[in-house]
Chains A and B, each alone.
Chain A
């Protein structure tokens, strides 16, 4: 407990906490605005949706069949107040999860980047205990970030939905489930970040790798596994297997709808990302324990 207090103290006595706090609030605000605009369009009747999307230049009767199908598909998936409420109330998710991961990475790598590892491990020679304290700190901060971004999203989103004449939808299990899964995702990405940061000592290397993995991982994995499925192994499980990529696993876990064809159940995503975090964490602690602090 004393180590946890020390780590929390260390976090709030540098500028890091407010830089991250600001980043969380600003990115949540931006995503909230985008989600609200999209919801406003998607919740309209289809002809008005097409009109909004084409800036008034087209209507369903003038669209070519390909674009019409595309718009229809998007509108059908999104034309549901519950779906839109869940999306708006979890606006802190898209970049927020990445920030939770990055904060956790920085908590560990800052010791080497700022040359404080020596005094930290002189004070506490049991390195595993230090990593555990950092993990506790990352989980607490991730939880607080989830709470702050959720309060912002829910308050603004509820006012928006009410003004638009829709049900606020809080209390609906689908909406509440999305909000709670968002918390789980925050915690798992923080856990993942601690493992990643412990394993990769370079702050720059770890943060860039994690950012690429988070932002590009799903898209790259989707393309790769689709190619594999099309040309090499023509079985549906290949498409399901892309859940092994952490960012894809995260999407599978939190998505209210099936994120891709043959996507496994949400719990599989949770297990996969937890497994990644555990592997990185245990490997990282083992590496750290044997590493000379020179």
Chain B
């Protein structure tokens, strides 16, 4: 039987993880394609880490499948050469050096131990490789996590909150590295709560809330899809008149504390034209930007109310 999924494609299908009283992940399905950086977004407790751990065979799904390259992770012959993962920054023995941590993994994975030195250089940890892990800063631990993931030169990179603890220079380095890796045709899946980071880093986003898929698509598509739901702020001395007419046209209108109107379901053009028609002066007409942050908050709020 041929495998329909290329090595780098991640397919999550009907994935569910049930715990007593709640589903951490609930019938979740999405596909991640190679050659792109995909942001995996959701508020705390949305089920991101549980999903990633099921994808990596660390948590057994209640139902459904999660496969990198068409096979369950636990069935991969040489998993570290297919998938590299960073799930927690503090995952090395505190009393072992970074270099020996990597060498131990090389030995277990059947890789040459010289690979440890290579990835230390790649991640800028060459000089700190012989320091004990307990002496590493959080940023250095994140870099060691990336180094660990890169040992097998994998096609798929899965990173859970990789920029946590990184300084601005480190974040820029990480961004460049992940973009380079995607540019080489690899699959890069990054979970994060730093939404602004995803706007500059990700090509695609998968947004989940309470374990369920809320939206998937390119960053531009997801932002555009909620553009009509973004409010327009209107300042006018005839707020009552304009507000009433907008409501009659089906727009949502609310009054802010400083007397401005907040209008939804009506564009700036529609509001401007109506004001002109009524002879109402406008002192301010500004649309909220449909950035990913706003899209994320709106969509995950909707997701939260689905159930």
Contacts and interface: CB of A to CB of B under 8 A. Distances in A.
Interface of A: 2-3, 5-6, 9-10, 13-16, 110, 114-116, 118-126, 290, 292-294
A9 B94 contact: no
B105 interface: yes
Nearest to B132: A14
7 pairs of A and B residues whose beta carbons are closest in the complex: A6-B108, A6-B107, A13-B100, A293-B58, A125-B74, A292-B59, A14-B95
A125 B76 contact: yes
A27 B88 CA distance: 39
A293 B85 CA distance: 14
A2 B91 contact: no
B60 A6 contact: no
A9 B88 contact: no
A110 B92 CA distance: 11
A115 B91 contact: yes
B244 interface: no
Given A114-B94, A119-B92, A121-B58, 16 more contacts: A2-B108, A6-B104, A9-B100, A9-B103, A10-B96, A13-B96, A13-B97, A116-B93, A118-B88, A118-B91, A119-B105, A121-B57, A123-B80, A123-B105, A125-B57, A293-B53
Interface of B: 49-50, 53, 56-60, 73-74, 76, 79-80, 85, 87-88, 90-97, 100, 103-105, 107-110, 148
A10 B60 contact: no
Contacts of B95: 14-16
A116 B144 CA distance: 13
Nearest to B103: A9
Contacts, number: 80
Given A14-B95, A118-B58, A123 B108 contact: yes
A115 B95 CA distance: 12
A3 B107 CA distance: 7
A125 B53 contact: no
Contacts of A15: 95
Given A9-B103, A14-B96, A121-B58, A126 B74 contact: yes
A10 B79 contact: no
A134 to B, nearest CB: 12
Contacts of A124: 108-109
B50 to A, nearest CB: 8
Which of A14, A120, A121, A123 counts the most chain B CB atoms within 10 A?
Answer: A123
Nearest to B108: A6
| Interface-centre pick from A6, A16, A120 (highest chain B CB count, 10 A) | A6
Contacts of A16: 95
A126 to B, nearest CB: 7
A10 to B, nearest CB: 5
15 contacts: A6-B108, A9-B100, A9-B103, A10-B93, A10-B96, A13-B97, A13-B100, A13-B104, A14-B95, A114-B93, A118-B87, A118-B91, A123-B79, A125-B74, A290-B60
Contact of B93 (A6, A14, A121, A293): A14
Contacts of B93: 10, 14, 110, 114, 116
Which of A3, A116, A290 gathers the greatest number of chain B CB atoms within 10 Å?
A116
Most chain A Cβ neighbours within 10 Å, of B50, B58, B59, B109: B58
Nearest to A289: B60
A6 B116 CA distance: 14
Contacts of A115: 88, 90-91
Contacts of A118: 58, 87-88, 91
B60 A2 contact: no
A25 B302 CA distance: 65
B115 to A, nearest CB: 13
Contacts of B87: 118, 122
Nearest to B59: A292
Contacts of B108: 2-3, 6, 120, 123-124
Contacts of B105: 6, 119, 123
A6 to B, nearest CB: 4
A294 B148 contact: no
A294 B47 CA distance: 12
A36 to B, nearest CB: 36
A293 B73 CA distance: 14
